[in-house]
Amino acid sequence: MTNAGLPRHVAIIMDGNGRWAKQHAFSVMMGHRKGVETLREIIRYSSDIGIEVLSLYAFSTENWSRPEPEVAALMRLIVEFFHSEIDELHENKVKIRILGDIEGLTASARDAVIQAMNRTRDNTGLQLNIALNYGARDELTRVVNSLVQDAREGNLREAIGWEDIADRLYTSGQPDVDLLIRTSGEQRLSNFLLYQSAYAEMIFPQKLWPDYTVADYQDALSAFARRERRFGGRST
């Protein structure tokens, strides 16, 4: 199979778990649990077809403002996910990176993600980025502080270039986002990978994340393949 037309990096904002739960008169956590099933399928399919990088927005720096029981349950769900999925992910050569400040996570979530990153460190398959306690403004603030620190220590060339910044983003060494998908009909980036998505094609399916299927994902990939990308240039 050829990779022509396939995005190298897909980023997904998995939105609509709460609305799905409400529609079915379930608790919000049932929505998140169902959302994990979708995410398992999408990871598996992305790995099978040879996507290089898949980034999933699991918990933002702003999500801490949700009711405490929901935050605690989401953290438990994340730990559970890593414990139950890590064997299969590792077997499929998936390499895990966490985007975000893991110091701010609960101890059990931090331990689970550190273990998952360490175990899959040398894998060569799908690069799976899970954004946890992530926000693009927070990410850029960290980059600026690290540049200032280096400048103070005399370790910087005179002018800072984009490469100096990109090298310090959580996604350092990875290609930019080619395709960004946000489910549930909302059309916002919500502080997700703002700089990495500078030239991303965006697709906003109406379906809520728990209802999103591999067939919907295939539609998004086909739509992406039909888009003309100019990166600020002109088509000839």
Query: Is position 205 an interface residue for ligand FPP (rule: CB under 6 A)?
Result: no
Nearest in space to 60 (alpha carbons), one of 28, 94, 105: 105
Q: Where are the alpha helices (DSSP H) in the chain?
A: 17-23, 28-49, 68-91, 107-120, 136-152, 162-166, 214-226
Compare residues 143 and 205 and give the one whose CB is closer to ligand FPP: 205
Burial class of residue 137 in the structure, from the number of CB atoms within 10 Å of its CB (0-12 exposed, 13-18 middle, 19+ buried):
exposed
Query: Is position 36 an interface residue for ligand FPP (rule: CB under 6 A)?
Result: yes
Of 63, 92, 123, 191, the catalytic one is 63
Distance CA 180, CA 173 (A): 19
Residues 128-187 contacting ligand FPP, CB under 6 A:
130
The count of chain residues that interact with ligand FPP, using the rule CB under 6 A, is 16
Q: Which two tokens stand for residue 116?
A: 């998952």
Compare residues 78 and 177 and give the one whose CB is closer to ligand FPP: 78
Compare residues 36 and 51 and give the one whose CB is closer to ligand FPP: 36
63 as an active site residue: the answer is: yes
Contacts of 137 (CB under 8 A, 6+ apart): 61, 191, 194
122 as an active site residue: the answer is: no
Distances (CA, A) of 156 to 34, 138, 153, 181: 47, 22, 8, 37
Query: Is position 39 an interface residue for ligand FPP (rule: CB under 6 A)?
Result: yes
Residue with smallest beta-carbon separation from ligand FPP:
18
Around Cβ 141, how many Cβ atoms within 10 Å? Answer: 11
Q: 58, 128, 180, 203: which one contacts ligand FPP (CB under 6 A)?
A: 58
Segment interacting with ligand FPP (CB under 6 A) among 73-81, 104-112, 137-145, 171-179: 73-81
Distances (CA, A) of 181 to 14, 186, 201, 204, 206: 8, 10, 9, 6, 11
Q: 6, 9, 11, 18: which one contacts ligand FPP (CB under 6 A)?
A: 18
Query: Is position 203 an interface residue for ligand FPP (rule: CB under 6 A)?
Result: no
Compare residues 58 and 180 and give the one whose CB is closer to ligand FPP: 58
3-state secondary structure (DSSP) of residue 103 = helix
Residues 92-131 contacting ligand FPP, CB under 6 A:
130
Q: 7, 9, 11, 32: which one contacts ligand FPP (CB under 6 A)?
A: 32
Give catalytic residue positions.
15, 63
Q: Which residues bind ligand FPP (CB under 6 A)?
A: 14-19, 32, 35-36, 39, 58, 63, 77-78, 81, 130
